[in-house]
Structure 1
Amino acid sequence: MNPGPTAPTAPATALLEDFSLEMTGKDVPKLEEAHAAVPRGTRVNVTFLGNEDLRMRLDAARAVKRLGLVPVPHISARRLASRSDLEEFLAGLAADGAAENVFVVGGDPARPEGPYEDALAVIRTGLLERYGVRHVGISGYPEGHPAITEHSLWSALTDKSAVLGTRRLAGDVITQFGFDAEVVLGWVERVRERGVELPIRVGVPGPAGVRRLMGYATRFGVGTSASIARKYGFSLTNLVGTAGPDRFLRTLAREYDARRHGDLKVHFYTFGGLRATSEWITRFRAEG
């Protein structure tokens, strides 16, 4: 019996059953505009950027919850000037009922602005549990990090996973966005070989202008222009138009093997395009 033309792409849509999104503190109006296209209960990460303040971050987490979504506020370890700064943020989240899920990352500053040199230092304080945190996201880097050695990245990942287990905190790994599904899956296999069984959310760029995608990729050191163009299917001689992660997700789904890769989900970096990303996901799922 002919399964029909949509059958080959069905596994790709299955990866989107529990996708998550990312926004900044300034994106609340964009989230309000997009939320009708976002399934209730979707996890929405709220960044912790240097140009945002406490009120903006708390307001954004509150807005996510008000719209029927699950706020996942970021905590940037090296941006915290003091222990009291961390407690003030956690207390604010707890007061709004938005502290259950957080994502803890080292952050961009080369030198800590306070007592926390990395995400692990924040997790080890015990403050997360004290203020009601139950689930902690941590970072993963399938294509490496321009300022951190591979050995350090692996040590950080395995140490954080172990400490979360010791502290009885649930968690997941959210990766940097990438353009090469095969590289990502190879990295996931190595994660599992190291005994890390946390669910992994694969970072995916939402649909965006090709030039913008290339700019972000260059900024974060993710792949080369030639490899990105090849994997995403556009020409370097014509950077006009928009590119979506269709090909990436279909490759990811085709090569994904739960026995080797474990629990895998998708996390969209929206680059401010919350509505465009949400509507793209709806269309992609409808196509099968």
Structure 2
Amino acid sequence: MRAPLTGVRYEVLPAKATEDKVLAHVPRDVVVTVTASPVKGLEPTLDLTERLAAHGYRVVPHVPARLLRDDAHLKDVVDRLREAAVDDVFVPAGDADPPAGTYDGALPVLRRLTELGRPFTHVGVTGYPESHPLIHDDLTIQAMWDKREHATYIVSNLCFDPRVLTEWLARIRRRNVTLPVYLGVAGPVQRARLLAMATRIGVGESTRFLTKHPSWFLRFATPGGYSPERLLTRMEPAFSQVAGLHLFTFNQIAETEAWRRALLDRLDG
């Protein structure tokens, strides 16, 4: 379990206090990913990315395809991120409905980035261990295959079921999708905090995804219903197939880092 806890990524929401929380609690060797909102647009994401990068963090902004107006807008975003020395981006389709412009999915954006000379060393795309609300499972795996020429890794969407995660990993490998995978896992989130944040529309992709899966709230609302450590313990046989963990912090950044450090200390001890 130690390796994925060391190669960890923290997903944060671009809220007012996020920068201070990251500076206070997140070591510089932890990758920080910044979500984007269809309500607020890309600007808060880009702004926080620039500020955290200036503090020496490796930052991965989410650049949802459906928030980009056109090729010129994408080029502006690329130039701005490269100026901030960002070398890693995560490109989901996004939830904006209708799209802000000409892109309605991630693949056209990925192709355009390739045409621009691959300005980023690392490019992440989304994987769906559980069924997508609108897309058949086989199509989501086919989409990862289609994106493999342009992407360098996959981040699985939030999942609470180790059996589903393990089976999904096996399925994508059977389909010869060989990109490194980061497992999307919720951190030690306080139930009341999670439920409160999930009602705030537009704060980030992770909370919007939860609102589409109301049964998941039961896992948090029931005492003992969810434990990240228990999930990881049950996932341990599959860790040889993953590059690391993508922890959804829901901006409980101090609590997430304290939990990770405590678990690493127990493993070392």
Q: TM-score, normalised by structure 1?
A: 0.79
Residue 201 (structure 2) aligns with: none
| Aligned equivalents of 1:246, 1:125: Cα separation in 2 | 40
- CA deviations on 1:6-64 (whole Å, 9 max, x unpaired) are xxxxxx2332111001112225x334334354232322111121233454222211222
Distance 1:266 1:106, change over 3 A: same
Residue 228 (structure 2) aligns with: 245
Amino acid paired to 1:286: D
Amino acid paired to 1:279: A
Quote how far apart the aligned CAs of 1:257 are.
5.7
Distance 1:64 1:53, change over 3 A: same
Residue 111 (structure 2) aligns with: 124
Distance 1:160 1:287, change over 3 A: same
Amino acid paired to 1:126: L
Residue 166 (structure 2) aligns with: 185
Distance 1:18 1:206, change over 3 A: same
Amino acid paired to 1:197: T
- CA deviations on 1:207-233 (whole Å, 9 max, x unpaired) are 21224556657513286556x369x86
Matched, 1:287 2:269: no
CA RMSD in angstroms, aligned pairs only:
2.6
2:188 pairs with one of 160, 185, 207: 207
CA contact (8 A) 1:75 1:102 kept: yes
Quote how far apart the aligned CAs of 1:244 are.
4.4
Matched, 1:176 2:163: no
Matched, 1:256 2:245: no
| Aligned equivalents of 1:245, 1:103: Cα separation in 2 | 23
Distance 1:78 1:55, change over 3 A: closer
Identity %: 28
Distance 1:257 1:286, change over 3 A: closer
Query: How many residues were matched structurally?
Result: 256
Residue 3 (structure 1) aligns with: none
Residue 212 (structure 2) aligns with: 220
| Aligned equivalents of 1:180, 1:73: Cα separation in 2 | 27
Distance 1:115 1:186, change over 3 A: same
Residue 75 (structure 1) aligns with: 63
Quote how far apart the aligned CAs of 1:129 are.
4.6
Matched, 1:19 2:8: yes
Distance 1:224 1:102, change over 3 A: closer
Residue 274 (structure 1) aligns with: 253
Amino acid paired to 1:43: V
| Aligned equivalents of 2:217, 2:60: Cα separation in 1 | 32
CA contact (8 A) 2:54 2:84 kept: no
Q: Is the radius of gyration larger for structure 1 or structure 2? A: 1
- CA deviations on 1:47-88 (whole Å, 9 max, x unpaired) are 121233454222211222123221111111012122221111
CA contact (8 A) 1:87 1:127 kept: no
Quote how far apart the aligned CAs of 1:187 are.
0.3
Distance 1:51 1:113, change over 3 A: closer
Aligned partner of residue 256 in structure 2, secondary structure: helix
CA contact (8 A) 1:204 1:269 kept: yes
Q: TM-score, normalised by structure 2?
A: 0.84
Residue 132 (structure 2) aligns with: 145
- CA deviations on 1:226-275 (whole Å, 9 max, x unpaired) are 6x369x8626xxxxxxx64111111111x3263xxx23310011111122
Amino acid paired to 1:208: V
